[in-house]
Amino acid sequence: MSPRFDAARRAPGPELMDDPDVAPEVLAACYADLAGVTTLTLGRRPVLDFVARAARLAPGRRLVVRDLGCGDGDGLRALAAFGRRRGIALALEGVDRSPAAIAAARAASDPADAIAWRVGDALAEGGARPDLIVCSLVAHHLDDEEIPALLAGMERRARLGFLVNDLRRSRLAFHGFRALATLLGRHPFVRHDGPLSIARGFVEADWRRYAADAGLADMVEIRRRFPFRLVVARLRAEPSP
């Protein structure tokens, strides 16, 4: 069924790619197609800017960055290249609950990037804590009641801070993406899930409510980013113990 847009509330899920029974080769093709969409929409920029900002706050520190829900690792590969260009020392970790996603990430990545891939929960207790946790285009797959726990978990586990980079709910983006995805012949999952992702996206008031529910109302920055993105950022001046 074709997704519908309601400016007043998030659309119900799930999306096609959320189905755990999707064939791994279909999921890998969907991820590859989404990487092209991310490039066209400047979707990696908020994460790169956030890591650069953290590096300025902690000069000389080798930053451990964990990508929560990393998918096929496209964002971490871009971050590895960005770190090399900028001279920022990074240790990168990709964590996803989907074994198929991690298999796709390993297959698509150059071992020289030395990205650590792991199936599991990026916020699980125990083990070394990363300096930064980034969560890019994952939150819109979650239900409203799950998101405050996501924010609280990132606050608890990240030593320096975290970033959520996700879609802004917009009628223009919804209809524009649907038209362009059809015109450009994107993957069938992308043509279906893209508009639904936007309809499941957020407005600033949503994030203010989630942050308050997580006890972080006065600690996070909520900003719009072009085009049709919202970022929720938290950076500490000093690492938490």
Residue 224, pLDDT score: 98
Residue 236: which region, alpha, beta or left (left: phi > 0; alpha: psi -120 to 50)?
beta
Residue 1, pLDDT score: 60
Residue 181, pLDDT score: 82
Residue 36, pLDDT score: 87
Q: What tokens appear for 193 in the block?
A: 């899930």
Residues 6+ apart with CB under 8 A from 35: 72, 74
Three-state DSSP string of the chain: CCCCCCCCCCCCCCCHHHCCCCCHHHHHHHHHHHHHHHHHCCCCHHHHHHHHHHHHHCCCCCEEEEEECCCCCHHHHHHHHHHHHHCCCEEEEEEECCHHHHHHHHHHCCHHHCCEEEECCCCCCCCCCCCEEEEECCHHHCCHHHHHHHHHHHHHHCCCEEEEEEEECCHHHHHHHHHHHHHCCCCHHHHHHHHHHHHCCECHHHHHHHHHHCCCCCCCEEEEECCCEEEEEEECCCCCC
Pairing of strands 229-235, 161-167: antiparallel
Question: How many CB atoms sit inside 10 A of residue 6's CB?
Answer: 11
| Rounded Cα gap, residues 211 and 170, in angstroms | 21
Among residues 52, 146, 130, 141, the alpha carbon closest in space to that of 95 is found at 130
Residue by residue, pLDDT tens for the chain (241 residues) are 678 899 999 999 999 999 999 999 999 999 999 898 899 899 999 999 999 999 999 999 999 999 999 999 999 999 999 999 999 999 999 999 999 999 999 999 999 999 999 999 999 999 999 999 999 999 999 999 999 999 999 999 999 999 999 999 999 999 999 898 887 778 899 988 999 999 999 999 999 999 999 999 999 999 999 999 999 999 998 888 8
| Rounded Cα gap, residues 139 and 97, in angstroms | 14
Which phi and psi angles does 218 have, rounded to 5°?
A: -100, 10
Q: Which residues lie across from 66 on neighbouring strands?
A: 93, 133
Residue 123, pLDDT score: 98
